[in-house]
Amino acid sequence: MIDSQTPCRDLEVLSCRPGSDPSLVNLILSAPGWACRPGQFVMLRPAQWGAELIWPRPFSVCDVSEDGLRILFQTVGRGTRRLAELVPGQKVTVWGPLGRWFRIDESRPNLILAGGVGIAPFVMLARRERRDNLSMLFGHRLDLQHYPYDEIAASIPSEAMQQKTPADIAAFETVLSDRIRALAGKGQVLACGPEPMLKVVRKYCLEHGTDGQISLENRMACGVGACLGCVAKTSQGDYVQSCVHGPVFDVRDIELGA
């Protein structure tokens, strides 16, 4: 069942554990009863938040199955720090799956460009039946073992580059440019990661004429298209909700801020 008309569900926390680095948290909720596509997201709001934290928080689905809904997130602010304190048995209100997903080009190579916790939506993708047209380049700051890199690398050709210094970042940017250029007219890239990386990916896709899709991570209040808080600027200069028109966009369709 894909993109079904699912209502809100109160799911139970099965586990909530920091990874080997405490800033990365693996949250497993009870099975939501729906399936989704890579790049789609859910809104999460723990029942015990009361009214102090108003908004739910949006997260890419890392994986979903009968065993549960898996979310990988990084603690960056008040909301994610509170989410990291969840304990098994607590209830979290979940609505989704939401938004547009990564469209795989079945006839050509698809190169995944993942940055940091932006690797999350590709875990599900690496489990799909047909994988011979997929590969991944992963940029990361923390050591590799903190990310679910091996899960993906076990199924599809993958390489990783660590960035600890500005020189590392410059080197990664060069490789990104080379890989994106190599796919011009031959394939496409699928990118999820921090905004500076997405800007670089978009720039080289446009420069080299390579097809590309990027997943935006805008602040959201509702996740369903109503609040107009999460908008992205289109190449026509309009604003569209990234929750319903995205979060995955074609690089040609949107602008990214300076």
Residues in the site for another protein, rule: CB under 8 A? 5-8, 45, 51-56, 78-79, 93, 95, 218-219, 221-231, 233, 237-239, 244, 257
**Residue 82 Cβ vs another protein, minimum distance, rounded to whole Å:** 12
Cβ distance to another protein smaller for residue 77 or 185: 77
DSSP assignments along 149-184, one per residue = HHHHHTTS-EEEEE--SHHHHHHHHHHHHHHHHHTT
**Which of 30/93 has CB closer to another protein?**
93
Side-chain-side CA neighbours of residue 256 (13 Å): 20
Helix and strand element counts for the chain (H, E): 5, 16
> Which one, 9 or 37, has the nearer CB to another protein?
9
Residue 71 phi, psi dihedral angles, 5° rounding: -125, 135
Helices 166-182 and 195-208, interaxial angle, to 10°?
40
CB of 34 to another protein, least distance (A): 12
CA angle 174, 178, 184 (to 5 degrees): 145
Residue 86 CB, shortest distance to another protein, in Å, is: 17
In this complex, which beta carbon is closest to another protein, that of residue 96 or of residue 148?
96
Q: Supply the minimum distance, in Å, between the C-beta of residue 75 and another protein.
A: 16
Q: What are phi and psi of 175, to 5 degrees?
A: -65, -40
Q: Which is nearer to another protein, 6 or 135 (CB)?
A: 6
Q: At its nearest, how many Å lie between another protein and the CB of residue 51?
A: 4
- Which tokens go with 33? 């009863």
